Amino acid sequence: MVIDDDRLLCDTVRHGLDGQGVQVLTAHSGAEGLRLCAQRTVDVVLLDQKLPDGDGIRFCQPLLEHNESIKIIFITAYPSFENAVQAIKVGAYDYLSKPFALGELNLAVRQALRTLDLEHVAQVQHFQRRRESDRAVLVGRLPEVRRLVALAAANAAPVLITGETGTGKTLVAKAIHFQGQGADKAFIAVNCAAIPENLMEAELFGYEKGAFTGAAATVKGLFEMADGGTLFLDEIGEMPPHLQSKLLGALDDQQIRRLGGRTLNPVHARIITATNADLAAAVRERRFREDLYYRLGVMHIPLPPLRERLEDLPELCRSFLSQITPDQPVRLAIEEIEALRAYPWPGNVRELRNILERSVLVRASTAIQPSCLLGTAICNQTPINRANAAISIPRTLEQVEREHILATLRHFNGNQTHAAKALGISRSTLVRKLKCLGLNGTAP
Ligand SMILES: Nc1ncnc2c1ncn2[C@@H]1O[C@H](COP(=O)(O)OP(=O)(O)OP(=O)(O)O)[C@@H](O)[C@H]1O
Ligand SMILES: [Mg+2]
């Protein structure tokens, strides 16, 4: 938006910026500009210093009150140092003196829009970080793990997290990061097993332009990107030996040298590592440096497998089910939780989450009760357990239908409309079936 009583200038700006993906609004007084700002979303304002209804500076504050991210470019025919200082003091973004060339105007507007874009990206990142920190919450009792996470968050020592797959190692690493001092800085996760060995060094430590063929520009490594925050090295056991030494050096000196670089750059990233392999055995077999092992494990957080903390099953189920369908969380019956207890959970918490997700999804489309699906999911994986013992008892179709209808009604607290919908039949069909099965009037 251009706010200037000089109509010719307004038209010139409009034509000058036209066709550049910029839409130009014009106002000829401060009051008109404020009115327009209240009706439209304005990104950049070109504000004249001398307006019919007062000094342009007077309107800076009210414009910013409408929208604090507006970028105000002050334009004046009487440029002076004092003027410029005053404009910046009241929140102007830039300053142009009249007459200005179109190129100059273009540049100022582009820069203002770019700053807006960057602010927007920063806002999105901030929002995503908040979302992620919300999700980095441990469910279950885990008293020892919680104590160690709090302790780790309170200092910057390296942390080694061990545990089987799906026990929550990545989650614990995030919890430490978001509870710690660097929570508003980056959390950068690297899976050492997923990066080809020849690229890992450049990824981690960065490189200077010309360091190798194809290094067309200087690039920061993940270590530097995580400065002030956390570098999470997952599957650390897979790190090749020559990088193990370089990592140890970086940890000891708190500085790194980019590939092809001459200088050392200071980095203060907290290092969290994780593995589901037996790192101690790797040390014994000389596949992993012993000194690095002790350096990384200043704090060690072992995570128990799910089968060793079955008391957390009900709470984990409740938490996952309410995340999967927040509007109408499915509740599991005690027998269903009992069936889950009988399973050895080789995939730990991740597997539990997946099974629940799958059962809710299938249930939504074909009206299968979670109990059935949990039963089949588990039956497919374990030869004998209590869950499939119950299912394999021969029963008539009528018995199965009767139990299924009752269970569905029970699930919906007797609400026939909801139960019929979940069963994939009309309410009148349900009423008819209830009658045939001698169940009409039965409180489920
Ligand atoms: N205590 C817990 N509370 C809530 N969610 C958990 C818990 N433990 C694990 N999860 C969830 O289980 C899934 C797997 O966890 P995570 O990715 O942290 O496991 P992992 O140990 O890093 O596995 P991998 O060894 O395969 O990398 C995630 O969805 C995570 O949020
Ligand atoms: Mg993980």
Q: Are residues 155 and 294 in the same domain?
A: yes
Confidence (pLDDT) at 333: 76
Q: Please check whether residue 129 lies inside any domain of the structure.
A: no
Q: Pull the structure tokens for residue 287.
A: 């596949």
Give residue 364's pLDDT: 58
Q: Would you give the end-to-end CA distance of the chain in angstroms?
A: 66
Confidence class for position 365, pLDDT limits 50, 70, 90: low
Of the residues 64, 89, 119, the one at which a domain ends: 119
Say if residue 289 is in the same domain as residue 400: no
Written as six digits, the tokens of 125 are 């990142």
Same domain, yes or no: 299 and 338? no
Is 385 domain-assigned? yes
Output the pLDDT for position 355.
Answer: 86
Dist. CA 166 → ligand 1 center (Å): 5
Find the mean pLDDT for residues 104-113: 93
Q: Is 300 found in the same domain as 324?
A: no
Placement of tokens 């797959």 in the chain: 165
Instruction: Examine the domain organization and report whether 286 and 194 are in the same domain.
Output: yes
Amino acid making up residue 96: L
Is residue 128 in a domain? no
Q: Is the CB of 237 under 6 A from ligand 1?
A: no
Of 101-115, 255-269, 403-417, which gets the smallest average pLDDT? 403-417
Ligand 1 in contact with 350 (CB < 6 A)? yes
Closest atom of ligand 1 to CA, residue 139? 3
The pTM assigned to this predicted structure is 0.69
- Of the listed ranges 195-209, 258-272, 356-370, 384-398, the least confidently predicted one is 384-398
**Predicted confidence band of residue 223 (pLDDT cuts 50, 70, 90):** very high
Which CATH number covers residue 288?
3.40.50.300
Say whether pLDDT at 139 is over 50: yes
Question: Which CATH number characterizes residue 378's domain?
Answer: 1.10.8.60
Instruction: Find the length of the chain.
Output: 444
Domain count, the chain: 3
Q: Is there a domain that residue 207 lies in?
A: yes
Does 258 contact ligand 1 (Cβ within 6 A)?
Answer: no
Are residues 228 and 246 part of one domain?
A: yes
Looking at 304, 337, 365, the residue that finishes a domain is 304
User: Domain for residue 176, yes or no?
Assistant: yes
Range of the domain at 43: 2-119
Q: Specify whether 227 is located in the same domain as 338.
A: no
E strand or H helix at 383, and its extent?
Answer: none
Pick the atom of ligand 1 nearest to 142's CA.
Answer: 1
The CATH code of the domain that includes 93 is 3.40.50.2300
Query: Within this chain, do residues 85 and 6 fall inside the same structural domain, yes or no?
Result: yes
Structure tokens that stand for 318 in this block:
């409740």
Which residue among 162, 170, 301 is best mutated to probe the pocket of ligand 1, counting the most ligand atoms within 8 A of its Cβ? 170
Pair 170, 262 in one domain? yes
Task: With H, G, I as helix, E, B as strand and everything else as coil, classify residue 417.
Answer: helix
Q: Which residues are CB-neighbours of 19 under 8 A, at least 6 positions away?
A: none
Q: Helix 334-341 and helix 313-324: axis angle, to 10°?
A: 110
Instruction: Check if the beta carbon of residue 330 is closer than 8 Å to that of residue 370.
Output: yes
Indicate which residue's Cα is closest to atom 24 of ligand 1. 165
Residue 20's pLDDT band (cuts 50, 70, 90) = confident
Instruction: Tell me whether residue 265 is in a domain.
Output: yes
Percent share of the chain, pLDDT over 70: 91
Of 162 and 371, which is predicted with more confidence?
162
Domain check: are 62 and 198 in the same one? no
Flag whether 441 is in a domain.
no
Centre of ligand 2 to C-alpha 59, Å, is: 53
Residue 441: its pLDDT value, please? 57
The pLDDT-based confidence of 10 (bands split at 50, 70, 90) is very high
> Is 313 domain-assigned?
yes
Mean pLDDT of the chain: 87
Q: Is the CB of 386 under 6 A from ligand 1?
A: no
Q: How far is the CA of 257 from the centre of ligand 2 (A)?
A: 28
Buried b (16+ CB within 10 A) or exposed e, 164-201: bebbbbbbbbbbbbbebebbebbbbbbebeebeeeebb
Binding site membership of 166 for ligand 1 (Cβ less than 6 Å): yes
308-362 confidence digits (pLDDT tens) = 999 999 999 999 988 888 888 778 777 778 888 888 888 999 999 988 888 777 6
The amino acid sitting at 87 is A
pLDDT in the model for residue 366: 46
Q: Is 167 in the pocket of ligand 1 (CB under 6 A)?
A: yes
Same structural domain for residues 84 and 165?
no
Question: Do 170 and 295 fall into the same domain?
Answer: yes
CB 317 within 8 A of CB 352: yes
Residue that terminates a domain, selected from 304, 330, 364: 304
- Of 373 and 12, the structure prediction assigns the larger pLDDT to 12
CB 254 within 8 A of CB 266: yes
Host H or E run for residue 233: strand 230-234
Is 301 a pocket residue for ligand 1 (Cβ < 6 Å)? no
Amino acid at 359: S
409-414 contacts at long range (C-beta below 8 A, 24 or more positions apart): 409/444, 410/444, 411/330, 411/331, 411/369, 414/443, 414/444
* 165 alpha carbon, closest ligand: 1
Distance CA 441, CA 434 (A): 9
CA of 170 from ligand 2 middle (Å) equals 4
Residues 283, 290 contacting (CB under 8 angstroms)? yes
Q: How far apart are CA 246 and CA 99, in angstroms?
A: 58
